[in-house]
Amino acid sequence: MSVLIPIFFSSFIIALSGALMPGPLLTVTISETSKRGFHAGPLIILGHGIIEMAVVTALLLGLAPFLKQDWAFVVISLAGGAVLLYLAVGMFRSIPKLTLSFEPDKKIRSKNHLVWTGILMSAINPYWIIWWATIGLNFIGHSRKYGYWGIAFFFSGHILADLVWYAFVSGAVSKGRHLLTDKRYRILIGVCAVFLVVFSVYFFYSGAQKLAT
């Protein structure tokens, strides 16, 4: 147990430092929370955690060499850029008729959608994949020395850091919803859409640059 606790806390700190950095997952979380309330953040992270569990399992089974291939980075970058651009266009088109009102009968469907959003936003980020194939793989290798408990403490610390940060973000956004008029809300969604376009261009550029080398 004396070894497992440091594994947990080191995993938590490293994951938190990554979670604090702006990215598509954070941008979409802010956008969805402003529309649907606090539960958006935790549900998006649930989806994020599901795919991270799948990645950890895949790495344990030897997938790391595949993820490190240049062509894999190019494919994920270009596909990710396309998906983010598609989402941004959809957000821009919806701005004129956006409102803060909710439709209760769509509650269950929206929750399912948010979990899938967490999965998708993670899967299309090439740098998230590279992180797991390098830093994450090293952590897994160290934790694996202590059996399943080592992996469990590593993953628990990692996903808890994501949950803590994104729950905080969702809480801050949802608590401020009473200050949002429809106009301010549309501006917020517009800003989020602009960030998605920026990330999309960056992903396209990264993929094209790797393809050219």
Average pLDDT, the chain: 83
Residue 162 has pLDDT above 90, yes or no: yes
Q: What is the mean pLDDT of residues 174-191?
A: 76
d(CA 173, CA 188): 11
The candidate with the shortest Cα–Cα distance to 158, out of 39, 2, 48, is 48
To the nearest 10°, report the CA torsion of 114, 38, 192, 187. Answer: 130
Residue 67: domain span: 4-212
pLDDT tens digits, residue range 87-102? Answer: 888 888 888 887 755 4
Does residue 81 register a pLDDT over 70? yes
For residue 126, what pLDDT is reported?
83
More confident residue, 188 or 206: 206
The number of residues in the chain equals: 213
> Is the model more confident about 173 or about 21?
173
* Count of beta carbons in the 10 Å neighbourhood of residue 197: 17
Count of structural domains within the chain: 1
Question: pLDDT tier at 116 (50, 70, 90 boundaries)?
Answer: very high
- pLDDT, average across residues 124-144: 82
Task: Give the HSE-up count for residue 128: Cα atoms under 13 Å, Cβ half-sphere.
Answer: 25
Q: Which residue has the higher pLDDT, 124 or 111?
A: 124
The pTM score is 0.78
